[in-house]
Amino acid sequence: MGRFRELARFGMVGGFNAATYFGMYTAGVLVGVPYLLSAVVAFALSASLGYWLHEHWTFGGGQPTVRGWISWLLAQGGATALNLALLAAAVDLLGADKIIAQAVLLPVTPVATYFVGRRWVFSRV
């Protein structure tokens, strides 16, 4: 039951971060920021917020460290690089709408980071 609660918390934080990311990404695109730059800026801000929320609430460690934050940014960065490659392919090769394509790709990052975060990034109580 504990793992289910942890996964539920991870999902809630992930949903909040996805909304934060998507809102910042969309705002950037709508004001004329190139879509890949908008994606990178939105990533940095939402991933940092996600680290803090996961450390304190999802995994209950409550001991954020610079090493943990950097590890999380690297894990998120790897997942985001995959997301950006898929986004560029969808937009530039397939002609998909920039915002719709990103909305479809939103699950890529959380799926790619749950196990990495749980095992190697976050402290335990």
- Residues of the chain with pLDDT > 90: what percent? 43
* Mean pLDDT score of the chain: 88
**Which of these, 123, 88, 90, 86, lies nearest to 108 by C-alpha position?**
86
Cβ(24)–Cβ(48) below 8 Å: no
14: containing domain: 2-121
105 and 86 Cβ atoms separated by less than 8 Å: yes
The span from the CA of 119 to the CA of 54, in Å, is: 13
Overall domain count for the chain: 1
Does residue 125 carry a pLDDT above 60?
no
pLDDT digits 0-9 by tens, 90-110: 999 999 999 999 999 988 877
